Amino acid sequence: MAQALKIGIAGLGTVGASTIRILTAAHNELAERAGRPIEIVAISARSKGKDRGVELGAYRWYDDPVALAADPDVELVVELMGGAEGSAKALIEAALSLGKPVVTANKALLAAHGPALATLAEQKGTTIAFEAAAAGGIPVIKALREALVGNKISRVSGILNGTCNYILSRMEAEGLDFAQCLKAAQDLGYAEADPTFDIEGYDTAHKLALLSALAFGTEVDGDAVYVEGISNVTPLDLEMAEELGFRIKLLGVAERTAQGVEQRVHPTFVSRSSQLASVMGVTNAVAIEAEPVGTITLVGPGAGGGATASAVVGDIVDLARGNQVATFGRPSQALEKPVRAPMQRHEGGYYIRLQVMDRPGAAAIIATRMAERGISLESILQKGRGARRSESGAVPVILITYATTELLIRNAVAAIAEDGVLDGPPQVIRIER
Ligand code: HSE
């Protein structure tokens, strides 16, 4: 058998510990499958003494991850520290500069610095493997970068954040409030260290930017993603969605439009009969629309130590086998600069929930503002007086529009707000049919 591949792992959180567990428990089988043993020789983390439930005594310890990368024994670096800047970036740059391949789960870092790091890797004759950076255990990076190279991809959409899907699923199923569900997700180890990344949509945006670059052969353009999170979604929105035949999901969508590449992350009404609507809990799903293959939907665990470590180990074994693919699937020079499609030109249907003063003429004003902009309404629902009427005398009015543009919707909602018929901020949620 060929010589062992010696690796260093920096970051020993849930994913790092699970990776060590897999590499040690399946050592012989992985050696057979890779054609050479994979030996962990060095590790690095913030705290040496912490009990992680795995035996670490046999590995060289580094307080400084950059020193781990420089260890002459280490041939491949696994970065599981997280963070777009700081130590993780320094470690990856150090490893690549020495021509050592990097395996990482760090979507925030790749969304911010992907093009520069891919260029550095290429200059040094090495690569960055990042299957674990998007959709956890679902092998979507490999699918886009390798298995689907014979296709022209027009759209990638999906549920890319387990925490958000878990929160929305539990809010819907059990009528729990947002804070209770977030706490449960954190206790289960799904949420990022800073939950803002999950609930405000940034984690989904980072992942989407990576998928978009692979799908369209463009440079990663993390700043171009339009982002809205789920913290403003209310139990009433979930109830209305159900009544109208939808479910609310935090979707990431990247598609080619006539204006350029549209990348957006926002809560979305999806038809209850769609595949994505049936994806509940921490599960992720990615739908890829491609020609000639058609639509492929991949569904699986999107967060948690085991699922993410599964992807990390897949990458390590790939590199042990000598299967080195350009970081973003093609040479950096061949990646196009993406043309950004402005969100205001987005076209689609909308759910609008307005808290409307319950007085004669209010509905007529709303209908007029919509009609003035040529927005056609598919349905209007007023949730009567009774329990839904606020102390100030406002009732929820729900509008579902046919396809229109983001710009017209924003104009119409702003005009309605100026008319003084609302009591509270409007809720606008896009619909994907
Ligand atoms: N916090 C992420 C999620 C997992 O909830 O999906 C890691 O990407």
| Atom number, ligand 1, closest to the C-alpha of residue 190 | 5
CB atoms within 10 A of CB 374: 10
How far apart CA 363 and CA 356 sit, in angstroms, is 8
pLDDT in tens, 373-385: 999 999 998 876 6
Catalytically annotated residue among 100, 107, 142, 207: 207
- How many Å lie between the centroid of ligand 1 and the Cα of residue 30? 26
Residue nearest to atom 8 of ligand 1 (CA): 303
- How many Å lie between the centroid of ligand 1 and the Cα of residue 235? 23
Q: What is the pLDDT of residue 193?
A: 67
| Averaged pLDDT for residues 247-255 | 97
pLDDT in tens, 11-56: 999 999 999 999 999 999 999 999 999 999 999 999 988 999 999 9
Does residue 194 sit within a domain? Answer: yes
Does residue 43 sit within a domain? Answer: yes
- Candidates 181, 198, 230: which one to mutate for ligand 1, based on the most atoms within 8 Å of Cβ? 198
3-state secondary structure the chain: CCCCEEEEEECCCHHHHHHHHHHHHCHHHHHHHHCCCEEEEEEECCCCCCCCCCCCCCCEEECCHHHHHHCCCCCEEEECCCCCCHHHHHHHHHHHHCCCCEEECCHHHHHHHHHHHHHHHHHCCCCEECHHHCCCCCCHHHHHHHHCCCCEEEEEEEECCHHHHHHHHHHHHHCCCHHHHHHHHHHCCCCCCCCHHHHCCHHHHHHHHHHHHHHHCECCCHHHCEECCCCCCCHHHHHHHHHCCEEEEEEEEEEEECCEEEEEEEEEEEECCCCHHHCCCCEEEEEEEEECCEEEEEEEECCCHHHHHHHHHHHHHHHHCCCCCCCCCCCHHHCECCCECCHHHCEEEEEEEEEEECCCCHHHHHHHHHHHCCCCEEEEEECCCHHHCCCCCEEEEEEEECCEEHHHHHHHHHHHHHCCCECCCCEEEEEEC
61 and 24: one domain? yes
Residue with tokens 């709303």: 366
408 and 297: one domain? no
pLDDT in tens, 405-424: 999 999 999 999 999 999 99
Positive or negative torsion for Cα 307, 311, 314, 316? negative
Give yes or no: 207 in active site.
yes
pLDDT in tens, 55-102: 999 999 999 999 999 999 999 999 999 999 999 999 999 999 999 999
17 and 124: one domain? yes
Does residue 277 sit within a domain? Answer: yes
pLDDT in tens, 105-122: 999 999 999 999 999 999
| Atom number, ligand 1, closest to the C-alpha of residue 105 | 8
| Averaged pLDDT for residues 167-178 | 91
How far apart CA 40 and CA 30 sit, in angstroms, is 13
Look at 304 and 294; give whichever has higher pLDDT.
Answer: 294
82 lines ligand 1 (CB under 6 A): no
pLDDT in tens, 307-318: 999 999 999 999
111 lines ligand 1 (CB under 6 A): no
Backbone φ and ψ for 117, nearest 5 degrees, come out as -70, -40
190 lines ligand 1 (CB under 6 A): yes
How far apart CA 120 and CA 93 sit, in angstroms, is 8
118 and 152: one domain? no
Residue 259 sits in a domain whose CATH number is: 3.30.360.10
Q: What is the pLDDT of residue 1?
A: 76
Looking at the chain, the whole-number percentage of residues with pLDDT higher than 90 is 85
Does residue 352 sit within a domain? Answer: yes
- Which pLDDT band, with edges at 50, 70 and 90, does 194 fall under? confident
- How many Å lie between the centroid of ligand 1 and the Cα of residue 368? 43
Does residue 330 sit within a domain? Answer: no
191 lines ligand 1 (CB under 6 A): yes
Last-in-domain residue among 108, 133, 158 = 133
- Candidates 161, 183, 187: which one to mutate for ligand 1, based on the most atoms within 8 Å of Cβ? 161
Q: How many structural domains are present in the chain?
A: 3
- How many Å lie between the centroid of ligand 1 and the Cα of residue 91? 22
192 lines ligand 1 (CB under 6 A): yes
pLDDT in tens, 328-366: 999 999 998 889 999 999 999 999 999 998 888 998 999
Nearest to 23 by CA among 50, 58, 51, 48: 58
Does residue 315 sit within a domain? Answer: no
* Interstrand relation of 128-129 and 404-405 (parallel, antiparallel or unpaired): unpaired
Q: Which residues pair with 77 in a beta bridge?
A: 8, 102
- How many Å lie between the centroid of ligand 1 and the Cα of residue 230? 14
Backbone φ and ψ for 31, nearest 5 degrees, come out as -60, -45
129 and 156: one domain? no
Decide: 306 and 300 in contact? Cβ < 8 Å. no
Calculate the alpha carbon distances from 113 to 85, 92, 100, 331 in Å.
Answer: 9, 11, 18, 16
Residue nearest to atom 7 of ligand 1 (CA): 303
Q: What is the pLDDT of residue 188?
A: 83
- How many Å lie between the centroid of ligand 1 and the Cα of residue 40? 26
Q: What is the pLDDT of residue 192?
A: 67
105 and 164: one domain? no
122 and 154: one domain? no
Does residue 98 sit within a domain? Answer: yes
Domain range for 66 is: 5-133
| Averaged pLDDT for residues 192-216 | 92
163 lines ligand 1 (CB under 6 A): yes
78 and 156: one domain? no
Residue 126 sits in a domain whose CATH number is: 3.40.50.720
Does residue 327 sit within a domain? Answer: no
- How many Å lie between the centroid of ligand 1 and the Cα of residue 349? 28
Backbone φ and ψ for 96, nearest 5 degrees, come out as -65, -40
- Candidates 183, 192, 207: which one to mutate for ligand 1, based on the most atoms within 8 Å of Cβ? 192
203 lines ligand 1 (CB under 6 A): yes
